[in-house]
Amino acid sequence: MENGCTHIIILQKNCRFFKKLHQKMAKKDVKLLKGDASKEEKENLSLAKVEQPDNLCHADAESSLLIHQLGRDISLSCLVRCSRSYYGIIASLNTAFRSVIRSGELYRLRREMGFVEHWVYFSCNLLEWDAFDPIHNRWMHLPKMNISDHCFMCSDKESLAVGTELLVFGRGIMSYFIYSYSILTHAWTYGMTMETPRCLFGSASLGEIAIIAGGVDMHGNVLDSAELYNSETGEWMTIPSMNQARKMCSAVFMDGKFYVIGGIGFENFEKLTCGEEYDLKTKTWRVVPNMYPNEGGRGTGTPTAEAPPLVAVVKNELYAADPALKAVKKYDKEKNLWEILGPLPERAISMNGWGIAFKACGEQLIIIGGPRSFGNGMIEINSWVPTNGPIEWKLLVKKWSSTFVYNCAVMGC
């Protein structure tokens, strides 16, 4: 007990130290976005843009002790419990801190110990991404993607957050590209390829792994194949194929299994109402009939004009945003039925589901979107923690934007 109390006292002291350091740096170099501020006042939480303060730690820059008086193990224990929004500041203390943060070791320890913070990453402009930390109500602007391929810039893209990476998939003139942003290095890299390059697929992540399924290849063929990506190794691996080929589908992890929902089939562009469940232990697929029924259509026009299903999982419960009904639905796994819970936020405006994002962010559902007119508009992030009571959306933040939400992903690490 005495040892445990000592750890708590040490942790409290060092967390206060990091908080004071953060406040000091904020006064010098940083502007915070407060609520619905009309200006782009952003705090850059990157490693690259934090100047190294002098004499903030007695340890030598090359020391492996990190916090000199505590030793490495207790230092890591303290760092794991600090919010990752402070890691950019902490990395500026010395080479040892910077090395341990950029190595990814802290995030592996956080995952093992159950410390997870969810940040929202989204793009409202070509090649530009913003991140929002809903816990501290802070923004971060990512470096601009350095891409000269105009086909990639203007084509539809998919995004996926897995481990400490944000992956952006798109089509170039000759092939499909994958760009990866790392929160460890605060930089974009290019080069990885899937076993079967594709677009318009369904994807979801669970910790350090992600699965993509379906989609379309470079020749326009609708695929039934699926692949697993391990962000720790950077490797793609083909897994068994689905029972039915589909594109423009969505995917989630629920109860430790991977689900592909809805989409469009390869025959006559029919809208699929079935889902498929992949068991990672048995490596088998199971068809789930009517998992996403077409109740009179989600919008107007052809199936290809509609966005993929807007679905998200919180506490192993599946929810969906229905743009046509402007409602939130919940899936009953036992009855294989959907029930309407309540309305979407009033200002979550879309075009057949395009232009908004509906995601799980830890234990809350978030929806990102807002009204636009004549080049002016507003992006709002609303959240709701699912309960047995009525839906009560909470406005987290809003910012000016002349365009809608192109892509969105939530990273938990």
List the chain domain ranges: 2-113, 118-412
pLDDT for the residue numbered 375? 59
The full length of the chain comes to 413
Give the single-character DSSP code of 24.
H
pLDDT for the residue numbered 303? 63
Mean pLDDT value across residues 193-208: 96
Mean pLDDT value across residues 363-391: 86
Asked if the 118-412 domain carries CATH number 2.120.10.80, the reply is yes
Task: Give the model confidence (pLDDT) of 52-88 as tens digits.
Answer: 334 444 434 444 557 777 788 888 888 999 999 889 8
- Terminal Cα-to-Cα distance of the chain (whole angstroms): 29
Six token digits for residue 385: 């923690």
Question: b/e for 306-317, b at 16 or more Cβ within 10 A?
Answer: bbbbbbbbbeee
Q: Which amino acid, 277?
A: E
pTM comes to 0.84
Q: Measure the CA–CA gap between 241 and 34, rounded to whole angstroms.
A: 47
Under a CB-based contact definition with an 8 Å cutoff, are residues 361 and 134 in contact?
Answer: yes
Task: Give the model confidence (pLDDT) of 35-44 as tens digits.
Answer: 343 333 344 4
pLDDT for the residue numbered 13? 52
Under a CB-based contact definition with an 8 Å cutoff, are residues 156 and 406 in contact?
Answer: no
Non-local (6+) Cβ contacts of 224 within 8 A are 214, 241, 242, 243, 244, 245, 246
Structure-token match 């009033």, residue found:
346
CA-based R_g, the chain, Å: 22
How many CB atoms lie under 10 A from the CB of residue 168? 24
Mean pLDDT value across residues 384-413: 91
Under a CB-based contact definition with an 8 Å cutoff, are residues 318 and 277 in contact?
Answer: no
Range name among 10-14, 127-131, 161-165, 396-400 with the lowest pLDDT average:
10-14
Query: Which of the residue ranges 67-81, 156-170, 294-308, 338-352 has the most confident prediction, judged by mean pLDDT?
Result: 156-170
Give the single-character DSSP code of 72.
H
